[in-house]
Chain A
């Protein structure tokens, strides 16, 4: 089965840039989306189709996808961005989530 690999955790200082990677075989050939999940809350879509932001998502969230790696970048990270982030892609009509990355804003 298809697997997506994410680092378990990323730490970032307020105002700095956080980069979260998501790796999978030929991932660049698939569309990737990213979800933010704060403790006790439902996931929120922050990036879809590799690079697009849904309405209401701040511009500091951006995405890229090439080769075997997709990346979610949070520029000018704020304390409110502390959360778990999951990448997701489709493989043979099956949804696959990464294991999630906990972003800590120190």
Chain B
């Protein structure tokens, strides 16, 4: 079963850039199920005591979709050579403090299925 693991700084200063990496193990980030659209790779965050917020995703084709409220500050990219995908969030504030999750979803028949594999999450605090 594929596994995901988030990594990156746990503390970032306000106005700086938050950078996280998700390493995919026991599977290839480039592969997908036969006769399907493959997988998409997502980032989701959760402030303490609050709900889930979708940040964005990247498809195997390289296409990206972002939460409109974060779009101007977010970049998601893939590094197939290292079997990783990453998140960059610029100009962070205290409101960006959260647990950040990476996750995998399945594309089939042109439809985006749910996120069936999640990392354990990494806590990022924005503070000087």
Q: Establish whether residues B116 and A45, one from each chain, have CB atoms under 8 Å apart when the complex forms.
A: yes
Judge if A86 is at the interface, Cβ distance under 8 Å. yes
- The B interface, classified by DSSP as helix, strand, loop or mixed, is strand
Number of interface residues of B (CB under 8 A): 23
Q: Please, which residue of chain B has its CB at the minimum distance from the CB of A100?
A: B51
Contact A95 B54 (CB under 8 A): yes
Given contacts A94-B67, A97-B53, contact A43 B113 (CB under 8 A): no
List chain B residues, Cβ under 8 A from A43.
44, 52, 101, 115, 118
**Does B68 contact A42, Cβ atoms closer than 8 Å?**
no
Residues of A within 8 A of B113 (CB): 31, 33, 48-49
Given A31-B111, A48-B113, A100-B51, verify A95-B42 contact (CB < 8 Å): yes
Chain A residues bordering chain B, tally (CB within 8 A): 25
Knowing A86-B51, A86-B52, A96-B54, the reply to whether A1 touches B120 (Cβ < 8 A) is: no
Q: Is B119 an interface residue (CB 8 A)?
A: yes
Instruction: Check B118 against A88 for contact (C-beta < 8 Å).
Output: no
Q: Are B101 and A42 in contact (CB under 8 A)?
A: yes
When the two chains form their complex, are residues B68 and A45 in contact, meaning their CB atoms are under 8 A apart? Answer: no
* Extra inter-chain contacts (17) besides given A43-B118, A95-B42, CB under 8 Å: A1-B69, A31-B111, A37-B52, A42-B118, A42-B119, A45-B115, A45-B116, A47-B114, A54-B114, A88-B114, A88-B115, A93-B65, A94-B68, A95-B44, A97-B52, A97-B54, A98-B51
User: Which residues on A are within 8 Å of B, measured CB to CB?
Assistant: 1, 31, 33-35, 37, 42-45, 47-49, 54, 86, 88, 90, 93-100
